[in-house]
A and B are shown apart, each in its own frame.
Chain A
Amino acid sequence: MAPKTMFEKIWDAHVVREEEGKPSLLYVDLHLVHEVTSPQAFDGLRLNNRRIRRLDKTVAVADHNVPTNDRDKPLTDEVSKAQLEAMQRNADEFGLEYHDMFSEKQGIVHVIGPEQGRTQPGMIIVCGDSHTATHGAVGAMAFGIGTSEVEHVLATQCIWQAKPKTMEVRVDGALGFGVTPKDVILAIIGKIGTSGGIGHAIEYTGSVFRDMSMEGRMTVCNMSIEAGARTGMVAPDEKTFAYLKGREYAPKGEDWDAAVERWTALRTDPDARFDTVVTLDAADIQPQVTWGTNPAQVLPVGGRVPTPDEFESSQEQTAVEKALAYMGLNGGERIQDIPIDTVFIGSCTNSRIEDLRAAAAVAKGKQKADSVRALVVPGSWAVKQQAEEEGLDQVFTDAGFEWRDAGCSMCLAMNPDRLAPGERSASTSNRNFEGRQGPGGRTHLVSPPMAAAAAIAGHFVDVRELN
């Protein structure tokens, strides 16, 4: 048999129908639903008198709209309220498992999937959200879909997909002190650009990912879409199995042993070939800060913001000019001289327990700068609870940070947490697009320790230089 990549193995195992030159009909093992991209899909089902084909493979959660404090008070935003109510109604009508903001299983959809052991190696996982690739960290093929496709998967448990090409992103060596998985993925995007991965499924390989924790792998896979890729994944290994073992929805007993055997066989065969290969050296990766309005506009923390004349094409120059104007930067300033007024630690990229621990380690015993508002938003109720057991909430509140309930929060301006026009954030989220955190808001993407350090200093600092 011809050697295959992990991606090809997962793909082949899910083909329901295939025809040369056409997209394939693939079977979906897990469909995650949230309140924003689903209401019109349920409407479509109703209109055509259709049901959800596999309720046992579908779960819904409220995350994008939910307030992250004062949940006992009525929602003030009428539209958020309407959307959350619609989700509840749809779940009731279709008999769908749904976790509202008072459920202990609530959290950001990409945090709760792995955390509850629903996300498993070898699965095809879809969600009406572009950061679905997060689940690829366990060795699954996970990708975002649109609302019509949500409707399609609800009705058929299948999805039409054109086969992407495969890309290996290999990072070997050891990461330096203070360099996190977030810095690794930002450096990758900085290298290949926001279109580098278009039409590809990425597998992250090399010692850096082998040595990385499961949560770190999630951070990396999460941002695959920011490099344009359809999905991103890491081969399952002992760490993956140790992570999943005992989680609520993970296989148990004999099923577990059989699963581990199956999962082990998913790894890319030694002689398999990728269509594209990109390599980075771990030693070159430093803590990263984005300066512009897409995640590829990124630099090491020691750098200076570029000026348009450093770019060749006139199209690039215009884009850089526009980004600088939006960000309120001149070009040429040192990254570390940029003052910030808001810090957001959270989002499906960086809101897991290890992220919070890393941020707390920096904040411990310090005080945030007076001019800064700092939010810490755990990715799920479970993360919140764990953090509180470890006393991290206390560390943050002692340092003047706000400690919130789980949700998407300031990752996108859909709930009460947002930037005012002209405000500037150091954010652990994944998108620095114009207006992403609020109209006129300016976003710099960083790792959790870099965000915590910026909260304390009031401007960016190199975490490696803190004592």
Chain B
Amino acid sequence: MDAFTKHTGKVVPYDMPNVDTDQIIPARFLKKIDRVGFGELLFYELRYEEDGSPKPGFILNQPRYAGGTVLVSGPQFGIGSSREHAPWAIQQYGFRVVIAPSFGDIFRNNCYQNGLLPVMLDAAEVDTIIARAQEIQGYEVTVDLEAQQVTDGHGLAASFDIDPFRKENLVQGLDDIGLTLQNEAAIDAFESANA
């Protein structure tokens, strides 16, 4: 897993509440048995016509948002199915951060597992970012995980909360399993006590 400390990148504002994981990556693409190639499939139904050509109106198809690395969306982003393919698709498209007022629980966990940073900000702050991204061509934000802050060059300074454990793992790019196996003695003890 790549470590995450601080990231500056272009914002893609997808102003929509309740973006569920079926929209992020439709179920029929879950059949792949490898872990790559999901970036092209991100938001497939919304992004492509039936013949596979891009839908011009959709946000990811607008040239001004090309190369975006910070996805910003409405409340309850990532609700629904537990598919980890959702964060994979978002990450493999090129995003490093998703900002929203709230997230689906499983989705948020899945993000942490993959070094994709989910950032929860107040709805008003998210609205500000979305409005600025729509107004200002090439609008960027800086997400500083260590300082737990999102800033832009226009006066925004929004802090966010993150579980210290998740933060530590992200900052160090630590794999959860390795970390858990450091507790193997405790697991053994639990098993013999409950056998």
Contacts and interface: CB of A to CB of B under 8 A. Distances in A.
A48 B177 contact: yes
Nearest to A27: B190
B28 A16 contact: no
Contacts of B92: none
A186 B114 CA distance: 33
A297 to B, nearest CB: 10
A43 B32 CA distance: 13
B17 interface: yes
Contact of B45 (A39, A77, A151, A435): A435
Given A25-B186, A162-B163, A315-B74, A144 B82 contact: yes
Contact of B33 (A48, A82, A162, A199): A82
A21 B84 CA distance: 26
B165 A83 contact: no
A434 B187 contact: no
Contact of A16 (B33, B176, B187): B187
A195 B20 CA distance: 12
Interface residues of B, number: 49
Given A48-B177, A436-B27, A130 B106 contact: yes
Contact of B32 (A79, A128, A195, A436): A79
B35 A228 contact: no
A146 B84 contact: yes
Given A21-B164, A228-B104, A148 B176 contact: yes
Contact of A412 (B27, B113, B176): B27
Nearest to A228: B79
B53 interface: no
B113 A146 contact: yes
A412 B26 CA distance: 9
Interface residues of A, number: 64
Nearest to A408: B27
B30 A414 contact: yes
Contacts of A152: 176-177, 180
Instruction: Give the most central of A64, A79, A199: most B CB within 10 Å.
Output: A79
A106 B110 CA distance: 28
A318 B15 CA distance: 10
A25 to B, nearest CB: 6
B183 A16 contact: yes
B82 A37 contact: yes
A94 to B, nearest CB: 15
A213 interface: no
A27 B75 CA distance: 32
Contacts of B33: 39-40, 82-83, 86
A73 interface: no
Interface in A223-264: 225, 228, 230
Nearest to A156: B180
Nearest to B76: A195
B82 A413 contact: no
Contacts of A53: 187
B83 interface: yes
B79 A414 contact: no
A257 to B, nearest CB: 19
A81 B104 CA distance: 31
A156 B30 contact: no
Closest 3 CB pairs of A and B: A148-B113, A146-B110, A79-B31
Given A27-B191, A129-B81, 15 more contacts: A16-B190, A27-B194, A129-B82, A130-B82, A155-B181, A156-B177, A162-B163, A199-B105, A294-B18, A413-B28, A414-B27, A434-B23, A435-B22, A435-B26, A435-B45
Interface of B: 16-18, 20, 22-23, 26-28, 30-35, 45, 74-76, 79-85, 87, 102, 104-106, 109-110, 113-114, 163-166, 176-177, 180-181, 183, 186-187, 190-191, 194
9 contacts: A21-B164, A22-B163, A27-B190, A39-B34, A130-B81, A144-B82, A146-B84, A158-B180, A294-B18
